[in-house]
Amino acid sequence: MADGNAPGSPASSLQSHRYAIKSSVHNTAASRRREQAIAIGKERREALMRAKRVCRAPLSGSDEATIEDGDMVIDEKADLETRTAQAVEELKSALSSQGKGAQKKKIEALRAVRRVLSQSEVPPIQVAIKAGAVPLLVQYLSFGSSDEQLLEAAWCLTNIAAGEPEETKSVLPALPLLVAHLGEKSSTLVAEQCAWAIGNVAGEGADLRSTLIAQGALWPLARLMLSSKGSTARTAAWALSNLIKVMISCFDCMSLKFLMPEFNSYLFPSSYYGLGVLRQKRKGPDPKAAYELINIDGVLNAIIRNLEKADEELATEVAWVVVYLSALSEKAISLIVRSHVPQLLIGRLLASENLQLLIPVLRGLGNLVAGDEYMVDSILIVGNSITDQALSSLIKCLKSDNRVLRKEASWALSNIAAGSFEHKKLIFTSEATPSLIHLLTSAQFDIRKEAAYTLGNLCVVPAGSTEPPNIITEHLVSIINGGALPGFINLVRSADIESARLGLQFLELVMRGYPNGQGPQLVERGDGIEAMERFQFHENEAMRNMANGLVDKYFGEDYGLE
């Protein structure tokens, strides 16, 4: 999936950074950033909570400031479906009413529908749809209607759009008017409620997102994110992140392409590059949406201004916008890393304990670290306070009880560790190294793999294009003495080819570079030979050649005769 501003463009600007060693695997950086964005889909509960939201209380500042207690709870014994059908019939009747009192009747009918769709844990959305509510609500959204009428109609559509997929799709006829009412001529309350409804629609899937983008929803939502009203800016940011996000429901075996370099290339990439697996999306949004969004005047300033505010809910929604922008657009990365956004993300990461905020902040920061050499080489200058803050905040996340934070922090550090020797040294001499060794030997599999990439990158610096990497002996010895070797040998035993290759590459470093020729003995004592021999007749030719080559080279006929 190419970037919207340069379809099919080479990744040369990316390959110059984050590679510890020259790799024959190309264009994987963008794929990994997309994978990180996609990871939210795997955390199913989190994804569902963010994707759609039922509006249950009046918007701040609306005319309906309070509702009597008797109106807040529907009698459990009442037939909710009957009440819903009756409310829709009254909605239809009120639409055709004329003369004095007609407007009041319309508002009361809308409010009755809205209440039955708001108060139950399982709103009777399907009943309302079958009764014909959606086309009626579209008529209530007509231009020239009062703000109160527009607000109530949009609220009803918001909660219908929060339903099951087919229920959300029923709102399609209302989308042009919902988008139109985001405009500058609409009141803030109406625009915010329409943004909420659009956010629910966008949360359903790629087809609906494409429809909304085609109907021009990006620009007015971006304008709303500039609002000085906190709830409006939050809602707009949330809707925008839903509109540009990447969601993949599943992969199949045909969508996984293994790109195994030759053994003599000595590939030891950062975790963002050259992982060996290029995941191709079967279905998803056009990344041009992210490119278009970052090019809208004022969007970057809105992101900065909202991240600067004390409002953590607002910062959370804006951080998700940064996550998806940086996952989909190289242009967005280029602009963001040259702004004040990275420093703001680092500050939030260090100061906050709010998990809902920390996850998108860390994920966005990780995308930026991997996306542009300017980030690491110019912003994270060793010795600067912002660099110390970044490392401290990443270490804090490594030690967190939350697995998402541990994984994201390991992944971000792996890309920093693939940079200059100064950055490797900075990580190596910090608390990050023992924490990473601990994760490698005790954490969940996906975290162990990310930790392994970081530790491996701490041990090598690039050599010539056809030469194996130069080994930083001090780092290698310390990491081995710290107990990391068993973790890498366990990776070799993994059924995951990518992880097994990573383990084999690290064993090669140990056997080649450990002082006094002790590397092979260390590997042997850790049952590394047995781990490598499992590939003796493996179906993967590259892995088979790699493992057999290591065994022949270091454990051949002359082994142990000295």
pLDDT, residue 286, reads 56
- Beta strand pairing call for 277-279 and 460-461: unpaired
pLDDT, residue 1, reads 36
pLDDT, residue 332, reads 87
Count other C-beta atoms under 10 Å from residue 544's C-beta.
Answer: 14
How is the chain split into domains, by residue range?
Answer: 77-224
Q: How far apart are CA 46 and CA 39, in angstroms?
A: 11
Longest dimension (CA), the chain: 106
Instruction: Please check whether the domain covering 77-224 is classified as CATH 1.10.620.20.
Output: no
Mean predicted lDDT score pLDDT of the chain: 80
Residues in the chain with pLDDT < 50? 1-30, 33-34, 36-49, 65-75, 77, 247-285
Measured in whole angstroms, how far is the alpha carbon of residue 88 from the centre of its chain? 40
pLDDT, residue 525, reads 93
Q: What angle do CA 412, 413, 418 make, to 5 degrees?
A: 105
Answering whether pTM is above 0.85, one says: no
pLDDT, residue 40, reads 41
Q: Is 494 helix (H, G, I), strand (E, B) or coil?
A: coil
Picking from 428, 557, 533, 539, the residue whose alpha carbon sits closest to that of residue 484 is 428
pLDDT, residue 64, reads 54
In order, the DSSP letters of 302-321 are: HHHHHHHSS-HHHHHHHHHH
pLDDT, residue 445, reads 94
Q: Is 1 helix (H, G, I), strand (E, B) or coil?
A: coil
CB 318 within 8 A of CB 307: yes
Picking from 309, 305, 294, 378, the residue whose alpha carbon sits closest to that of residue 338 is 378
pLDDT, residue 122, reads 80
Q: Which helix (H) or strand (E) holds 256?
A: strand 256-258
Q: How far apart are CA 501 and CA 513, in angstroms?
A: 18
